[in-house]
Amino acid sequence: EAQVTQNPRYLITVTGKKLTVTCSQNMNHEYMSWYRQDPGLGLRQIYYSMNVEVTDKGDVPEGYKVSRKEKRNFPLILESPSPNQTSLYFCASRTTPKSYNEQFFGPGTRLTVL
Protein backbone atom coordinates (compact mmCIF):
# COMPACT_ATOMS: atom_id res chain seq x y z
CA GLU A 1 0.00 0.00 0.00
CA ALA A 2 1.32 3.42 -1.00
CA GLN A 3 1.71 5.49 2.13
CA VAL A 4 3.60 7.94 4.29
CA THR A 5 4.29 6.76 7.81
CA GLN A 6 5.28 8.80 10.85
CA ASN A 7 6.40 7.83 14.31
CA PRO A 8 5.59 8.43 17.03
CA ARG A 9 1.94 9.39 16.61
CA TYR A 10 1.76 11.01 20.03
CA LEU A 11 4.56 12.38 22.17
CA ILE A 12 4.69 14.30 25.43
CA THR A 13 8.12 15.56 26.36
CA VAL A 14 9.84 18.20 28.43
CA THR A 15 11.66 21.34 27.42
CA GLY A 16 15.18 20.72 26.16
CA LYS A 17 14.98 16.97 25.64
CA LYS A 18 16.06 16.18 22.09
CA LEU A 19 13.61 14.22 19.99
CA THR A 20 13.26 12.87 16.47
CA VAL A 21 10.07 12.26 14.53
CA THR A 22 10.57 9.76 11.75
CA CYS A 23 8.92 9.91 8.33
CA SER A 24 9.05 7.33 5.59
CA GLN A 25 7.36 7.01 2.20
CA ASN A 26 7.24 3.99 -0.09
CA MET A 27 6.26 5.75 -3.31
CA ASN A 28 9.74 6.73 -4.54
CA HIS A 29 8.78 10.40 -4.25
CA GLU A 30 11.45 13.02 -4.69
CA TYR A 31 9.79 15.91 -2.85
CA MET A 32 9.17 15.69 0.88
CA SER A 33 8.06 18.30 3.42
CA TRP A 34 7.37 18.76 7.08
CA TYR A 35 4.46 20.92 8.21
CA ARG A 36 3.10 22.03 11.51
CA GLN A 37 -0.56 22.78 11.98
CA ASP A 38 -1.81 25.19 14.62
CA PRO A 39 -5.36 26.50 15.16
CA GLY A 40 -6.10 29.50 12.99
CA LEU A 41 -2.73 29.32 11.25
CA GLY A 42 -3.24 26.37 8.98
CA LEU A 43 -0.44 24.19 7.71
CA ARG A 44 2.93 25.87 7.62
CA GLN A 45 5.96 24.34 5.94
CA ILE A 46 8.92 23.81 8.26
CA TYR A 47 11.48 22.23 5.95
CA TYR A 48 11.43 20.59 2.57
CA SER A 49 13.63 18.36 0.47
CA MET A 50 13.69 18.21 -3.31
CA ASN A 51 15.75 15.02 -3.35
CA VAL A 52 18.38 13.07 -1.46
CA GLU A 53 20.87 15.32 0.31
CA VAL A 54 18.93 18.44 -0.78
CA THR A 55 17.07 20.15 2.05
CA ASP A 56 16.06 23.74 2.72
CA LYS A 57 14.07 25.95 5.02
CA GLY A 58 10.36 26.51 4.71
CA ASP A 59 8.28 29.20 6.40
CA VAL A 60 8.98 28.29 10.03
CA PRO A 61 12.32 26.46 10.33
CA GLU A 62 13.55 27.89 13.65
CA GLY A 63 14.19 25.18 16.22
CA TYR A 64 14.07 22.31 13.76
CA LYS A 65 16.53 20.26 11.73
CA VAL A 66 16.05 17.66 9.01
CA SER A 67 18.13 15.26 6.99
CA ARG A 68 17.59 13.32 3.77
CA LYS A 69 20.19 10.60 3.53
CA GLU A 70 17.86 8.20 1.73
CA LYS A 71 15.05 8.94 -0.65
CA ARG A 72 12.38 7.30 1.47
CA ASN A 73 13.22 8.84 4.87
CA PHE A 74 12.95 12.43 6.07
CA PRO A 75 13.28 12.71 9.86
CA LEU A 76 12.45 15.88 11.77
CA ILE A 77 14.76 16.69 14.68
CA LEU A 78 14.03 19.02 17.57
CA GLU A 79 17.39 19.54 19.29
CA SER A 80 15.99 21.46 22.25
CA PRO A 81 12.19 21.47 22.17
CA SER A 82 10.30 24.38 23.69
CA PRO A 83 6.60 24.75 24.59
CA ASN A 84 5.93 26.86 21.47
CA GLN A 85 6.73 23.77 19.41
CA THR A 86 3.66 22.04 20.81
CA SER A 87 1.72 21.32 17.65
CA LEU A 88 0.38 18.75 15.19
CA TYR A 89 3.10 17.76 12.72
CA PHE A 90 2.61 16.25 9.29
CA CYS A 91 5.14 14.78 6.92
CA ALA A 92 4.18 14.87 3.24
CA SER A 93 5.53 13.74 -0.09
CA ARG A 94 4.78 14.16 -3.76
CA THR A 95 6.33 12.84 -6.95
CA THR A 96 8.65 15.62 -8.03
CA PRO A 97 9.29 19.25 -7.10
CA LYS A 98 8.03 20.52 -10.46
CA SER A 99 4.89 18.45 -10.52
CA TYR A 100 2.10 19.95 -8.42
CA ASN A 101 0.11 16.80 -8.28
CA GLU A 102 -1.38 15.08 -5.25
CA GLN A 103 0.55 15.49 -2.06
CA PHE A 104 0.34 12.55 0.34
CA PHE A 105 0.41 13.13 4.07
CA GLY A 106 1.43 10.96 6.96
CA PRO A 107 -1.09 10.41 9.78
CA GLY A 108 0.38 13.18 11.92
CA THR A 109 2.34 13.41 15.16
CA ARG A 110 0.79 15.25 18.05
CA LEU A 111 3.61 16.74 20.10
CA THR A 112 3.28 18.34 23.51
CA VAL A 113 6.30 20.05 25.06
CA LEU A 114 5.93 20.79 28.77
Partner 1 sequence: RKEVEQDPGPFNVPEGATVAFNCTYSNSASQSFFWYRQDCRKEPKLLMSVYSSGNEDGRFTAQLNRASQYISLLIRDSKLSDSATYLCVVNTDTGRRALTFGSGTRLQVQP
Interatomic CA distance for residues 79 and 18, integer angstroms: 5
Contacts of 26 (CB under 8 A, 6+ apart): 2, 3, 72
* Interface with partner 1 in residues 36-75 (CB under 8 A): 40-43, 45, 48, 50, 56, 58
Q: State the nearest-atom distance from the C-beta of 79 to partner 1, in Å.
A: 23
Q: State the nearest-atom distance from the C-beta of 108 to partner 1, in Å.
A: 6
Inter-residue contact 89 to 33 (CB < 8 Å): no
Interatomic CA distance for residues 88 and 51, integer angstroms: 24
* Interface with partner 1 in residues 70-109 (CB under 8 A): 88, 90, 97-98, 100, 102-103, 105-108
Burial class (CB in 10 A: 0-12, 13-18, 19+), 12: exposed
Which of residues 43 and 77 has its CB atom nearest to partner 1 in the complex? 43
Which residues of this chain interact with partner 1, rule CB under 8 A? Answer: 31, 33, 35, 40-43, 45, 48, 50, 56, 58, 88, 90, 97-98, 100, 102-103, 105-108, 110
